[in-house]
Chains A and B, each alone.
Chain A
Amino acid sequence: MSTIKGKVWKYGDDINTDVIFPGKYTYTVSDPAELARHAMEDLDPDFAGKVQKGDVVVAGTNFGCGSSREQAASCLVAAGVGAVIAKSFSRIFFRNAINWGLPALQCPAAVDALQAGQAVTVDLERGCIEAGGQSWKFPELPAEVQGILTSGGLIPYLRAKYQKNA
């Protein structure tokens, strides 16, 4: 969990939740495999077929803007995406990502340098991103957020907590 290795999928600014996960499926699709099949459908039709476990989505500013649908995060998790690195995130997407166990990392310098298809490593514990011999630091995630991420999301985190106390 603490180290993510994969290749870069690079996109631009203002990627909205509708192109990450189309609104027309929000009330009808909930099975993870099917969620994964529709990931990025209206942005990059190749994505769902080719994405590999551990791959990293890299994007510009305001990633995940628009509707508050949680599927925009959960479809990326279901597709195997290991982390999203962006210049900035829309507030609700950032929350949904963390709450679904998907690291959402703000690191503009890495975004500028990373190229589509490049191999990248994200070390959550050390707070750095490495690719092509370069490395970038991202602001350390607070302990609470780390706890939620390592449990795989808010609901599993709480479930584990209650099982321990029971």
Chain B
Amino acid sequence: MGKTFAEKIMAAKSGRRAVSASDIVTVKPDFVMSHDNSAAISKTFRGIGVDRVVCPEKVVIILDHCVPAASDKYANNHKVVREFVAEMGIENFFDINAGICHQVLPEQGFACPGELILGSDSHTTTYGAFGAFAAGIGRSEAAAIWATGELWLRVPETHRIEIGGRLPAGVTAKDVILSIIGQLGADGVLYKAVEFTGSAIDEMSLAGRMVLANMTVEMGGKIGYMTPNEETLTFVRSRSSRDFDVVTSDPDAEYERVIRYAAADFVPTLSCPHTVDNTAPVTDKAGTPFHQAVLGTCTNGRLEDLGLAARILKGRRISRRVRLLVFPASQEVYRDAMRQGILADLAEAGAVIMNSGCGPCLGAHEGVLADGEVCLSTANRNFKGRMGNPNSEVYLASPATVAASVLTGLITDPREFFQGGGR
């Protein structure tokens, strides 16, 4: 019997010859990522009773959740992190001018195929798009890795999601993953490794692949993996000088379940308040009014997403009834979007261009909602109160749906903007 990607990585990183699903192993991750929560992690770390971080070169810290600091509390938190990285000699530290952790980490070359990356943030799954085994962990666990360089993990069973064919114009990776989560449910792949395969995945852009991997955790998945395609490998080689091996499942590996979709069947999709798996086709909710729109986050704040929105909004004006906030996922995305005129097109249409970072995604600052307000967002979570106010509602959508909708202030099917072939 062949081995799955997850079994191979867990064996390699635990120094065993072979492991099988449900085994518990002690692994040595290649990198451990944390963000603003590094302040709390550093306190736990000091409680363990070791003086030094054993593997400072493996620690990556990126400030992004509330940047620049929104209050003295956040400012003091950032200060604790800056002092800690200086004391411990952690060089892979990115301050408030870098961007969202899940965009910055790969940009800076820390996500290579076949590597093991653990992060104290649930959307660490994003790096599965690079062929890495990447999973979220808790804060105590991050502290434990800082102290010991290792952590226990359970080897997950694998579910394969196969998507064949071509996505229709105006339908994006976001619509694909939202509708899959809607069908499988918030616990659809609980504790499982998910492998995305099929011709639609082979042809998908790296940005789109990152959306799938990012949101795999919203259906309970431990990792969301894809075999890197040519675009991915070119990106990785341009960012990292480390040697790496592309690790794939054996052809006769055992999958607990195989689920097949036809790309042509996907339509623009929304997650409706207040759970991610409460999905509906955009056409079912067309005409629903909203107050604020957010284009950004670790799910959909990349150059491709901003460019897609700009294509729809260029030369037009957004409705006076809505506000559109744009958060490029990283400073690099910001600069590229600026050079390409994308930010100018969005600003001229009436968007507010914000700094790179998480923005209002977790409700801390930069666009918190008022009572009774509705937000249309490209983020990955819409739980009650997620954007800072339990008396507000959040719909999740693709960048194309957001762009098409801000023109009228009513939820709108974006496909009418893609007549004559989109992407």
Chain B residue with minimal CB distance to A99? B140
Q: Tell me whether A94 and B148 are in contact (CB under 8 A).
A: no
Q: Tell me whether B187 and A61 are in contact (CB under 8 A).
A: yes
A148 to B151, CA, bound (A): 12
A85-93, A116-124, A130-138 - interface stretch: A85-93
Chain B residue with minimal CB distance to A13? B187
A2-10, A46-54, A153-161 - interface stretch: A153-161
Chain B residues with CB under 8 Å of A94's CB are 191
A116 to B361, CA, bound (A): 39
Q: Tell me whether B138 and A70 are in contact (CB under 8 A).
A: yes
Tell yes or no: B11 within 8 A of A by CB: no
Q: Report if A162-B50 is in contact (Cβ < 8 Å); known contacts: A61-B187, A65-B220, A155-B44.
A: yes
Tell yes or no: A41 within 8 A of B by CB: no
- Tell me the chain A residues, 9-50 only, with Cβ under 8 Å from chain B: 14, 18, 23
- Tell me the chain A residues, 94-131 only, with Cβ under 8 Å from chain B: 94-96, 99-100
Q: Tell me whether A99 and B138 are in contact (CB under 8 A).
A: yes
Q: Tell me whether A92 and B49 are in contact (CB under 8 A).
A: no
Chain A residue with minimal CB distance to B187? A62
A74 to B122, CA, bound (A): 19
In this complex, how many residues of chain A approach chain B with their Cβ under 8 Å: the count is 31
- Tell me the chain B residues, 1-45 only, with Cβ under 8 Å from chain A: 23-24, 26, 44
Chain B residues with CB under 8 Å of A23's CB are 385
Tell yes or no: B233 within 8 A of A by CB: no
Q: Which of the residues B44, B49, B191 comes within 8 Å of A91, measured between beta carbons?
A: B191
Tell yes or no: B48 within 8 A of A by CB: yes
Chain B residue with minimal CB distance to A145? B24
Q: Tell me whether B48 and A162 are in contact (CB under 8 A).
A: yes
A88 to B192, CA, bound (A): 13
Q: Tell me whether A154 and B187 are in contact (CB under 8 A).
A: no
Tell yes or no: B251 within 8 A of A by CB: no
Q: Tell me whether A155 and B50 are in contact (CB under 8 A).
A: no
Q: Tell me whether B187 and A90 are in contact (CB under 8 A).
A: yes
Q: Which of the residues A18, A65, A154 comes within 8 Å of B141, measured between beta carbons?
A: A154
Q: Which of the residues A66, A88, A96, A145 comes within 8 Å of B138, measured between beta carbons?
A: A96
Q: Tell me whether B24 and A142 are in contact (CB under 8 A).
A: yes
Q: Tell me whether A144 and B147 are in contact (CB under 8 A).
A: no
Tell yes or no: B55 within 8 A of A by CB: no
A155 to B385, CA, bound (A): 31
Distance in Å: Cβ of B231 to nearest Cβ of chain A: 30
Chain B residue with minimal CB distance to A23? B385
A61 to B44, CA, bound (A): 31
Q: How extensive is the interface on chain B, given as a class? A: 20 to 34
Q: Report if A145-B122 is in contact (Cβ < 8 Å); known contacts: A70-B138, A154-B141, A155-B143.
A: no
Chain A residues with CB under 8 Å of B138's CB are 68, 70, 92, 95-96, 99
Chain B residues with CB under 8 Å of A88's CB are 187, 190-191
Chain B residue with minimal CB distance to A142? B24
A88 to B140, CA, bound (A): 23
Q: Report if A90-B48 is in contact (Cβ < 8 Å); known contacts: A65-B220, A154-B141.
A: no
Tell yes or no: B383 within 8 A of A by CB: yes
Tell yes or no: B65 within 8 A of A by CB: no
Chain B residue with minimal CB distance to A66? B383
Chain A residues with CB under 8 Å of B191's CB are 88-91, 94
A66 to B147, CA, bound (A): 28
Q: Tell me whether B152 and A162 are in contact (CB under 8 A).
A: no
Q: Tell me whether A159 and B152 are in contact (CB under 8 A).
A: no
Type the 1/0 row for A52-92, where 1 means its CB is closer than 8 Å to any CB of B: 00000000011001101010000000000000000011111
Chain A residues with CB under 8 Å of B152's CB are 144-145, 148
**Residue from the set A95, A96, A145, A163 with the largest chain B CB neighbour count within 10 Å:** A95
A142 to B137, CA, bound (A): 19
A70 to B139, CA, bound (A): 8
Distance in Å: Cβ of B127 to nearest Cβ of chain A: 17
Q: Tell me whether B26 and A91 are in contact (CB under 8 A).
A: no
Chain A residues with CB under 8 Å of B147's CB are 158, 162
**Residue from the set A91, A142, A162 with the largest chain B CB neighbour count within 10 Å:** A91
Tell yes or no: B421 within 8 A of A by CB: no
Q: Tell me whether B48 and A14 are in contact (CB under 8 A).
A: no
A159 to B190, CA, bound (A): 31
Chain B residues with CB under 8 Å of A148's CB are 152
Tell yes or no: B144 within 8 A of A by CB: yes
Q: Report if A144-B187 is in contact (Cβ < 8 Å); known contacts: A70-B139, A154-B141.
A: no
Interface, chain B (partner A; CB < 8 A): 23-24, 26, 44, 47-50, 122, 136-141, 143-144, 147-148, 152, 186-187, 190-191, 220, 222, 383, 385
Sample (26) of A-B pairs whose CB atoms are under 8 Å apart: A14-B186, A62-B220, A65-B186, A65-B187, A66-B383, A68-B122, A70-B139, A88-B190, A89-B191, A90-B190, A91-B220, A92-B137, A99-B140, A142-B23, A142-B24, A144-B152, A148-B152, A154-B140, A154-B141, A155-B44, A155-B143, A158-B48, A158-B49, A158-B147, A158-B148, A159-B48
13 further interface pairs, Cβ-Cβ under 8 Å (given A142-B23, A155-B44): A14-B187, A62-B187, A62-B190, A70-B140, A89-B191, A91-B220, A92-B136, A99-B140, A144-B26, A144-B152, A145-B152, A155-B48, A158-B144
